[in-house]
Structure 1
Amino acid sequence: MTATMRAERFYADTKTVVVEDVPIPEPGPGEVLVKVAFCGICHSDLSLINGTFPAQAPVVTQGHEASGTIAKLGPGVTGWAEGDRVIVAAGRPCLTCANCRCGDIANCMRIQLMAFAYDGAWAEYTIAQAFGLTRVPDNVPLEQAAILADAVSTPYGAVVRTGKVGIGESVGVWGLGGVGTHIAQLARLVGAVPVIAVDIKPEVLDRSLELGADYAFDSRDENLGEKIAEVTGGRGLDVAFDAVGLKSTFEQALGQLTVGGRLVSVGMSAQEPTIGPTSMFGLTQKQVLGHLGYQNVDISTLATLVSLGRLDLSRSISGIVALEDIATGIERLERQDGNPIRILVQP
């Protein structure tokens, strides 16, 4: 193994992205060195570059949806071996906050996010905590395994944990990109009916029907409310997911809820939506729930679902770019060129 590797580096002061040679990191106690096979390009990566998310480090390697093989074990690591196929968790608990001290590391109050607080996986190698790894079943391609670390597990957490979607509940999804597409698939998997896709692009709406939505409507349709009412027996939605995060999508989704319905806000932006008059909000007993991330056990659950053929992610990989061409991948996602679900980097 050479002493250096190629890695993308984001420089916060100039907001520039470069690929350069950096030292290969050495795994410390309880850590492993992972040779990266694939890593996704996520909208949150773009949010760091464009300044929507404040930088947490002056220079950082981006990328937080990674799969690969273990290249080296750090001191004290057991249960893993070099060559094991793994998915890297996209965050680390601080281990010092009140929740962590109580053993509730899944709800760490100061979670450190990979590619923001510490170096990520747009690189040939990355460091991971051994207890945060997930083993990849032999029949699951590493391309699909990579996106389980956020693009699929965050939707899983939104559907199962935050939204608590039940069998027979009606679900609407605003924005059928990388996150929204998987929300629709997972809502169907847990028994939601109907699953309604809402977007502005005809090709995205057509794709959503192919991937599991029962209905697909244009958000600009002045009769959207009537159409949702018609396919839900006049009730409206039990659960709405805003995977875009704009003021318009948030407020439109909230307006389509039935009495006691839940809006789960997953998408992020700097815009500031409102809930309208508090009198009506109280009378209709609606709930607005913010969602971020997942628990590590969710990745294992999803890997099993993919392995057994219950969850089909074969169409979720929209393209693969080389590490040296990372700027092209970023630009493609930013422009929504080809309406990608997920673009991957292959170091």
Structure 2
Amino acid sequence: MATMRAARLNVTTRTLEVTDVPRPVPGRDEVLVRVMAAGVCLSDVHLIDGSLTPLHLKGDTVTLGHEVSGVVEELGPEVLDVGVGDRVALQAGEHDRHGQVLTRGVDYDGGWAEYALASTDTLVPIPDALPFDEAAIIPDAVSTPWAAVTTTGDVRPAEAVCVWGVGGLGAHAVQLLRLVGAAPIIAADPDAQARARALDYGADVALDSTAEDFLTRIGQLTHGRGLDAAFDFAGVPVVREQAVKVLGEHGRLVLVGLTNRPLEVADGTRFSYLRQQILGHYGSEPEHVVQLVDLVAAGRLEFSRSISDSLSLGQAPEAVRRLRERIGSPVRIVLRP
């Protein structure tokens, strides 16, 4: 039996091990993809530390990795519209036959491996000019903020916005808000490196969210009108409290960062009078990934600066440690099997 290397998480013991496993064989409507790059996301860290648990995983071990790109290596039976050698990115998840959303690398095996199985309807063709490491991070690291900005937040040109938390997703949110014409774009983060990155990615102003005059500065930057849209990529209660205070009329607070802590609106009368909204957001739809690949192909976007480092598959535990401890304030670390 052919084998391959894979980074496997035991969700019972929360232990991550790079080990040899059987190389999968594609079934009907499936292909085997030779993985060229796989992103390391904060969600992977949360799976390992136990703050996230798979809801639909069969068994107690899973190969991590939901941000994946590679080359089609083998076709399953009756696969006609895909060819061996095709360059592809993989959607971060899919629907099962009951309509339930399943996440790659969470509910079924992902791309921290030499090879990954993929249903044909989760393949996204990528152009030859798009490097594999940049293609890998489009599903989730870029598509999640893209969906938050364009769909959930419905940001329009010249709307005043603020992004709290300029990490892997927040940095791309700044870049994408610039693309859709938001103005001004305010970035908020207590970390100086993150604030510098925000300016590099297109923010007009980057503020320390712990500064005493932080909320006053947002009022000044929006000429007293408040924010049209606020994006919480930090998942921290204090961020949400700050954001609600500086929303303007019809302002939207989009919750992207995950937390199990309660959200409190201190002044419900003001919130209702200004007809504000709080909107939950999670992930993206397949069309968002396709849109982003098309925008890259058209020269509107590029993500080379988002690749903070590339490590081998055997260094997966080290990549997790660097992200968990924010060593070097990475946007995305990529594994290359």
Q: TM-score, normalised by structure 2?
A: 0.96
Secondary structure of 2:12's partner?
Answer: coil
Could you tell me which of 231, 236, 239 is aligned with 1:241?
A: 231
Secondary structure of 2:6's partner?
Answer: strand
Q: Which whole-Å CA distance do the structure 2 matches of 1:181 and 1:248 have between them?
A: 20
Gaps of 5+ in 1: 98-109
- Report how many aligned residue pairs link the two structures: 334
> Partner residue of 2:197?
207
Does 1:191 pair with 2:217? no
Deviation (angstroms), 1:272? 2.3
Identity %: 43
Could you tell me which of 269, 277, 290 is aligned with 1:287?
A: 277
Does 1:119 pair with 2:109? yes
- Report Cα offsets for 1:154-187 as digits up to 9, x if no partner: 1110001110000111110000000000011101
Q: Which whole-Å CA distance do the structure 1 matches of 2:307 and 2:297 have between them?
A: 17
Secondary structure of 2:83's partner?
Answer: coil
- Report Cα offsets for 1:254-303 as digits up to 9, x if no partner: 22211210000001123223222433322232101111111112112111
Could you tell me which of 64, 76, 93 is aligned with 2:78?
A: 76
Q: Which whole-Å CA distance do the structure 1 matches of 2:225 and 2:97 have between them?
A: 45
Secondary structure of 1:333's partner?
Answer: helix
Judged with a 3 Å threshold, the aligned counterparts in structure 2 of structure 1 residues 285 and 255 are, in CA distance, closer, same or farther, namely same
> Partner residue of 1:227?
217
Does 1:54 pair with 2:53? yes
- 1:33-112 pair list within 5 angstroms: 33-56=32-55, 57=57, 58-97=60-99, 110-112=100-102
Secondary structure of 1:32's partner?
Answer: strand
> Partner residue of 2:129?
139
Gaps of 5+ in 2: none
Kindly provide the amino acid, as one letter, of the partner of residue 290 in structure 2: S
> Partner residue of 1:29?
28
Preserved CA contact (<8 Å) 2:6 2:18: yes
> Partner residue of 1:13?
12
Preserved CA contact (<8 Å) 1:52 1:270: no
Does 1:252 pair with 2:253? no
When structure 1 is superposed on structure 2, of 114-123 and 265-274 the one drifting more is 265-274
Q: Which whole-Å CA distance do the structure 1 matches of 2:320 and 2:145 have between them?
A: 22
Could you tell me which of 311, 314, 329 is aligned with 2:301?
A: 311
Could you tell me which of 309, 317, 323 is aligned with 1:327?
A: 317
Kindly provide the amino acid, as one letter, of the partner of residue 324 in structure 2: E
> Partner residue of 1:104?
none
Q: Which whole-Å CA distance do the structure 1 matches of 2:265 and 2:104 have between them?
A: 32
Q: TM-score, normalised by structure 1?
A: 0.94
Preserved CA contact (<8 Å) 2:32 2:72: yes
> Partner residue of 2:292?
302
Which ranges of 4 or more aligned residues in structure 1 deviate by more than 3 Å? none
Kindly provide the amino acid, as one letter, of the partner of residue 178 in structure 1: G
Secondary structure of 2:266's partner?
Answer: coil
Q: Which whole-Å CA distance do the structure 2 matches of 1:270 and 1:329 have between them?
A: 26
